[in-house]
Structure formats: structure tokens, C-alpha cells
Amino acid sequence: MLFENRADAGRKLAAALGAYKDGRPVVLALPRGGVPVAAEVAAALEAPLDLVLVRKLGVPLQPELAMGAVVDGSAPILVRNEDVIRLAGVSEEGLQSVCAAELAEIERRRQRYLGDRARVDPAGRIAIVIDDGIATGATTRAALRAMRQCRPRKLILAVPIAPTDTLEAMREEADEVVCLEDYEDFGAIGLFYADFRQVSDSEVVATLARFPPTNGEAPSQT
């Protein structure tokens, strides 16, 4: 399946998640690419929208290669890809240096995207974690583990596209996985979108503004 853009993927994903509309779900997006996808789902399900601030930890000389991921919080959650760390010869000091830099970027994004915005509490709710696709799964796994600590009633991962083997691994982290298409021979997420331009900070901020926090309940959409 080729998606026109992230909004198109979000509308298709929303249709697959329609059964959860009456369950008072909360929608949690991985910025930046997951935000336009999640916005379509949140609008269709009449659900509040919030963010999971997670960053990939790239190998120092190959930043596109994930050696793990980190999610912010009072005790940041670090997910390590030990195979990549070992094969790339990254020391613990090197790993922690990259982790510190990404936590700084997470803090920048928190201030830019959220400011003093009230956060949605997933406790006791159906929490739907959304991204525009999965590649290695490091950031997705970290996001799911962070959300699990928030004690949702049910934790759902929803993505338009993913590699088959990575998707299977995610079933160990989420109570349910909803994916529109998965492939054994995957390549890159962008290959499945006609328009995969980078999502800007300003677009994230503008999208969140369409979903003002209302004590965890869905805002009215106009």
C-alpha cells in the first residue's frame, strides 16, 4: 500500500481503530513524524492527543544506525540494542554521551512543543501509541515501555507500515498491535509514502493546538 502522505495514513489507520471510539482512548504520538498520523486518529476517535518524547540513539559515526533509544521522565528509560553496540564497538562512555545529547534534545522539544500544556494521563485508559512507521523498533519499544509504566488499561501500538520481524517483536511490548501493512523485505519507511517530507516543529505545535487539553477528555473538533 502506498500512502499519499501522513494524513492519508492516519485516516486509514483511524478506520482500523474505529472500534475503540467508545472506549475513551487516549492517543499518544511519537514526534515528529507520528504527529500528523496520530492527529487524524485522535480526530476520528474523538480522543485527546499527547506526545511520547523519545529519541533514537544513533551510533556516533553512523547516526542512522540505532544502538538504542531513550524516553524522558524523572527516571529516563533507556532501551539498548546490545548487538549493534557490540558490533559498532561503542563504549559505555560513548553510549552515555549520545544519550545525554538526545535527552537534551528531548528537553528542547518538550519546551517547544508542550510548554506548560497539561499532559494526558493514560492511567486506566486505552492508550494508543502511534508513529508513521517502524524501522528498527528501538524508539517504538522505548515508547511502549514508558507508556506501560503509566498503567493504561490497555496498551495498543498502531502504525501504518512496519517490517514483519520487527512488528512481531512489538507484540511482546503492547497488548495489541494494529498495522495496515507489513513486509519481510522492508527497506525504509519513506518508500511507502508519496510525500514523506520532514515534519517541522511548527507543524507539531500547530497540530497540538487543535487538540487543547481538557482534563484527559476529548476536545470538540470544529
What is the CATH classification number for the domain harbouring 143?
Answer: 3.40.50.2020
Please measure the distance between the N-terminal and C-terminal CA atoms of the chain and give it in whole angstroms: 30
pLDDT, average across residues 14-36: 96
User: Which residues lie across from 18 on neighbouring strands?
Assistant: none
For residues 80 and 99, membership in a common domain is answered with yes
pLDDT band at 216 (very low <50, low <70, confident <90, very high): very low
Mean pLDDT computed over every residue of the chain: 92
- State yes or no: pLDDT of 110 exceeds 70: yes
In a domain, 188, yes or no: yes
Query: Tens of pLDDT along 149-195?
Result: 899 999 999 999 999 999 999 999 999 999 999 999 898 999 999 99
Print the domain residue range for 70: 55-113
Q: Which helix (H) or strand (E) holds 129?
A: strand 126-130
Burial 22-47 (b: 16+ CB within 10 A, else e): eebbbbbbbbbbbbbbbbbbbbbbeb
Contact between residue 217 and residue 120 where contact means Cβ atoms under 8 Å apart: no
In a domain, 1, yes or no: no
pLDDT, average across residues 6-10: 98
Percent of the chain with pLDDT over 90: 78
- State yes or no: pLDDT of 13 exceeds 90: yes
pTM (two decimals) = 0.88
pLDDT of residue 214: 65
Angstrom distance (rounded) from CA 205 to CA 19: 28
Q: Among candidates 21, 53, 8, which has minimal Cα distance to 221?
A: 21
- State yes or no: pLDDT of 215 exceeds 80: no
pLDDT band at 64 (very low <50, low <70, confident <90, very high): confident
For residues 133 and 205, membership in a common domain is answered with yes
Phi-psi region of 55 (alpha: psi -120 to 50; beta: other; left: phi over 0): beta
In a domain, 218, yes or no: no
| Cell numbers that stand for 146 in this block | 514508558
